[in-house]
Amino acid sequence: MWKKKYEPVANISKEHDEYLKLINREKNFIRIAQILIFVLGIIFWEVAARNNLIDTFLTSSPGAIFGLIMKLVNDGSLFKHLYISTMETIGGFFVGTVGGLLIAIILWWFKKLAKIMDPYIVILNSLPKTALAPIIILWVGLGYSGIIATAASISIVVTIMTLYTGFISVEKDKIILLKTMGANKFQVLRKVIIPANIPNILSVIKVNIGLSWIGVIVGEFLVSKAGIGYLILYGSQTFKLDLVMMGVFVLGVIAAIMYVLSSWLEKKVIKY
């Protein structure tokens, strides 16, 4: 339909062309506003720090954080900590998301099992997973496996509840129609249940990115000797708050990148 960003083809009306331009202007405005908020926040922070309006011992400053990032980049330690935390997050995200999806499918498949497990799932969801992290790590083991299990435990129950609710909310008429045409349960799952819940699955993916990071940071606070969580803990214990703020800043940047990637994936999948 479109040759260039704003070049309409002959079969598009002038009104439709104006409407599409309006949508693009709104999108650009939102992006610019988001960037401006971030930039102005950094500038205000730096100005406040240089003019002693804030206590830099407690809040640090963008300049000090950037200098520390460059120092850790030059000696290679930042990439090591980033790699470890990212791999742990990906592992916990994968286990929590895929495991939650599979369990939700099993519960949908076996309705009696779903009724039996319903109160236990609700109870598990109400438990504070971060408080249970030491127990989970002791059960699974110290090191990377315990951290990944902690990250997965935070996201898996939310994934199960969200997706199972979506599965049983699919219109019954569609399922009945397929069954009258001779479809078995697996075909109903593949042709109706999963496609109807693609938006729910994509939403769960975006939520689980943040939950997995929470689990990884909590796990690294407890047992890790490397990673962004370890840097934050070490900085707080030694009163190097530049290091703490740097860790928080790096976490925010990584989370933003992963959010952008998940949004891009969401657009591609929905378009497909």
Better-predicted residue by pLDDT, 9 or 150: 150
Cα distances (angstroms) measured from residue 9 to each of 20, 25, 57, 238: 12, 19, 59, 64
Residue 72: DSSP 8-state: H
Both ends of the chain: CA-CA distance in Å? 17
The answer to whether the beta carbons of residues 90 and 215 sit under 8 Å apart is no
Structure confidence by residue, pLDDT tens digits, 152-170: 888 888 888 888 888 888 7
Structure confidence by residue, pLDDT tens digits, 18-52: 777 788 888 888 888 888 998 898 888 888 888 88
State the average pLDDT over residues 257-267: 78
d(CA 220, CA 146): 10
204, 175, 172: which is closest to 192 by C-alpha? Answer: 175
Mean of per-residue pLDDT scores for the chain: 80
Structure confidence by residue, pLDDT tens digits, 123-154: 877 777 777 777 877 787 777 788 888 888 88
Element counts in the chain: helices (H) and strands (E): 13, 0
Structure confidence by residue, pLDDT tens digits, 49-63: 888 887 777 777 788
